[in-house]
Amino acid sequence: MGARTQEQRKAETRARLIAAAADLFARKGFHAVSAEAVADAADRTTGALYSHFGGKDGLLLALVEQWLDESAARILVGVEEAHDLDGRLRALWREFTAGHEDHGDAWLLLEFELWLHAVRDPLVAERLADRYAIYRGRLAEPLAAWVHDEGIGRLADPARTAADVIALLLGLAMQHRLDPHAITDDSVVAGLRAAIEGGVN
C-alpha cells in the first residue's frame, strides 16, 4: 500500500510540473521561464523537477510527448460522430481550435514554442519530428477512409495528404488566433477539402 501511495505521489508531482510548464512556456516562452519558476507554479521543489525530468529540457521533452499524444487522440475522437467528409473536416477544425479545456488556446502558443525550441536543439527536434510522424500516421488512415466513404476515389499517398492537412490546420489556426473573423469554418472546410481532393487519384 505504501509503495503504491508513493507512486501516486510521484505521478501527481509529474503531472503538476508538466501542467505548470505547459502554462508558463506558452505564456512566456521556454527560454524566459526558469526551472525554479516552473517548480514554484507547480508547488513543488526544483529538486523534484530535476529528479523527474533531469532539468528544463527533459521537462520540455516530456511535455512534447504528452501534448501530441493528447492532441492526436482528442482530435480524432472529435470527428467520430460526423457522417460525411465536410462534417468530419468541420469537426476536425473545431476540435483542433478548441484546445484543452483547461488551457484555452495556450496549446497553439505552446505548439509554436516547442517548434522554435526544436529547430535550435537537435535532441528536441528529433523527438518532435518522431511525434509528428506518428501524428501523420494516425491521421492518414482516417483520411483514406473518409475519401473512400465519400466515393471520390483513393488517396495516392495518405501520409502526404495528412501532412498537407496538418500544415493547413496549423497555418489557419495561426491566422484564426489573430483574426477569427477572417478565417471562417466554411473557408477552412473548403481549403481542407481541396487539399484532400488534390491527393486523390
Q: Does the pLDDT of residue 165 top 70, yes or no? A: yes
Query: Which set of grid coordinates corresponds to residue 185?
Result: 469554418
Domain 60-198: top CATH class: mainly alpha
Residues 136-157: what's their mean pLDDT?
93
**Does residue 154 contact residue 135 with C-beta atoms inside 8 Å?**
no
**Does residue 62 contact residue 53 with C-beta atoms inside 8 Å?**
yes
Mean residue pLDDT across the chain: 88
Residue 191 CB coordination number (10 Å): 18
Give the Cα separation of 82 and 188 in Å (integer). Answer: 16
Summarize pLDDT for 52-100 with one digit per residue, the tens. Answer: 999 998 898 888 788 777 776 777 777 888 889 999 999 889 888 875 4
**Does residue 35 contact residue 55 with C-beta atoms inside 8 Å?**
yes
Task: Concatenate the DSSP letters of all residues of 151-193 into one string.
Answer: TS--BS-HHHHHHHHHHHHHHHHHHHHH-TTTS-HHHHHHHHH
- In 3D, which of 51, 38, 68, 58 has the Cα closest to residue 130? 68
Residues 32-46: what's their mean pLDDT?
96
- Domain boundaries, given as residue ranges, for the chain: 60-198
Would you give the distance in Å from CA 66 to the centre of its chain?
A: 9
Give the Cα separation of 197 and 154 in Å (integer). Answer: 9
Q: What is the pLDDT at residue 69?
A: 75
Pick the more confident residue, 194 or 2: 194
Percentage of the chain exceeding pLDDT 90: 56
pLDDT band at 101 (very low <50, low <70, confident <90, very high): very low
Phi, psi of 199, deg, nearest 5: -95, 5
Q: What is the pLDDT at residue 104?
A: 53
Q: What is the pLDDT at residue 105?
A: 66
Q: Does the pLDDT of residue 32 top 50, yes or no? A: yes
